[in-house]
């Protein structure tokens, strides 16, 4: 038996907020019926939405927040002036222990800055990272960092590896996840100093982890490892490259299907 999870939600974050946020809560409820929400945002906008979604309303405690962090606000400014924002109050609820986690589709930089300031990082972890699940031929892998840390040293990469390993065990339910560091080749001598040193640390460690070694970009689609570790610059470019390639493929496929249909009509 697992205990009921309470999530703190920033209702105002994201391009289609708050409508999309409430829709997302409804989807989450279908998958995890006993989940509970603390919903932070402008009550005048949220009350009509909750009236239309009685199941969400039942699972949710609404708390008013006047301010909204906009998408183009600099993280430092948001941290100083956004103390009454829905994002900040949602994060505070995790800090006070009222919620087990926080969800926001808003300004990523502001979210990282506020979360680091309010919640700190765990002992031994210097910087938070953004993790993303990616589809592979074998299922899914988790990749981090996806853009929170543009420049990373070996220590950062090692810490991302540890966080990714824990994520894969607890969220993906993989008993002993394999970990790879993204590089330009699989040989130990390849790459920049950060990846070489990080690989040396992860290879020599007595931690009970399954370190695979270096992987190349095609490991993302192939599912060579369960956890892919990289700096935020490379990770962000790789993630958006996957998106772009997928769209290119989908577009080409659609065109093929249309020509094939017209071809059949012609015939």
Handedness of CA 152, 155, 158, 164 (dihedral sign): negative
> CB under 8 A: which stretch of 30-38, 91-99, 184-192, 204-212 binds its own copies?
184-192
Asked whether the bond before 219 is cis by omega within 30 degrees of 0, the reply is no
246 touches its own copies (CB under 8 A) = yes
Indicate whether 242 belongs to the interface with its own copies (CB under 8 A).
yes
Residue 17: C-alpha distances to residues 42, 69, 105, 127, 202 (Å): 11, 12, 8, 28, 41
* Choice between 53 and 136, CB closer to its own copies: 136
Give the nearer residue to its own copies in terms of CB position, either 202 or 239: 239
Taking the complex as a whole, the smallest distance from the CB of residue 50 to its own copies amounts, in Å, to 34
- Smallest distance, its own copies to C-beta of residue 141, A: 11
d(CA 152, CA 231): 6
Give the count of alpha carbons within 13 A of 69, CB side only.
Answer: 35
Task: Fill in the per-residue mask, 129 to 168: x = in contact with its own copies (CB under 8 A), - = not in contact.
Answer: ------xxx---------x--xx-----------------
In this structure, which long-range contacts are made by residues 49-55, counting pairs with CB atoms below 8 Å and at least 24 apart in sequence? Answer: 49/18, 49/19, 49/22, 50/22, 53/22, 53/25, 53/26, 55/26, 55/29
Does a cis peptide bond (omega within 30 degrees of 0) precede residue 119? no
Check: CB of residue 7 under 8 Å from CB of residue 38.
yes
What span, in angstroms and rounded, lies between the C-alpha atoms of 13 and 31? Answer: 22
Site membership for its own copies, residue 213 (CB under 8 A):
no
Selected binder of its own copies within 55, 176, 247, 254 (CB under 8 A): 247
Total of chain residues touching its own copies, rule CB under 8 A: 38
* Residue 188 is a binding residue for its own copies (CB under 8 A): no
Interface stretch with its own copies, choices 32-40, 57-65, 160-168, 246-254 (CB under 8 A): 246-254
Considering the complex, state which of residue 101 and residue 251 has its C-beta at the smaller distance from its own copies. Answer: 251
Report in angstroms how near the CB of residue 180 gets to its own copies at its nearest. 12
Applying CB under 8 A, which residues contact its own copies?
135-137, 147, 150-151, 182-184, 191-192, 216-222, 230, 232-234, 236-249, 251, 253
């Amino acid at each position: 038996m697992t205990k009921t999870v309470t999530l703190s939600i920033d209702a105002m974050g994201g391009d289609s907020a708050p409508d999309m946020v409430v829709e997302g809560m409804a989807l989450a409820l279908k998958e995890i019926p006993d989940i509970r929400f603390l919903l932070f945002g402008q009550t005048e906008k949220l009350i009509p939405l909750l009236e239309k979604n009685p199941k969400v309303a039942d699972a949710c405690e609404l708390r008013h927040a006047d301010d909204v962090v906009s998408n183009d606000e600099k993280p430092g400014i948001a941290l100083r002036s956004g103390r009454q924002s829905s994002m900040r109050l949602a994060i505070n609820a995790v800090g006070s222990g009222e919620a087990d986690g926080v969800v926001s589709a808003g300004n990523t930089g502001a979210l990282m800055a506020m979360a680091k300031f309010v919640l700190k990082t765990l002992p031994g972890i210097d910087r938070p990272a953004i993790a993303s699940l990616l589809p592979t031929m074998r299922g899914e892998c988790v990749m981090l960092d996806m853009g929170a840390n543009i420049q990373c040293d070996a220590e950062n990469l090692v810490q991302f590896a540890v966080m990714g390993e824990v994520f894969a065990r607890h969220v993906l339910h993989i008993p002993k996840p394999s970990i790879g560091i993204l590089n330009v080749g699989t040989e130990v001598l390849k790459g920049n100093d950060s990846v070489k040193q990080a690989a040396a640390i992860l290879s020599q460690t007595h931690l009970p982890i399954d370190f695979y070694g270096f992987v190349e970009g095609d490991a993302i689609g192939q599912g060579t490892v369960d956890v892919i570790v990289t700096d935020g610059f490379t990770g962000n470019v790789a993630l958006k490259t996957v998106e772009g390639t997928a769209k290119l493929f989908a577009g080409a496929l659609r065109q093929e299907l249309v020509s094939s249909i017209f071809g059949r009509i012609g015939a």
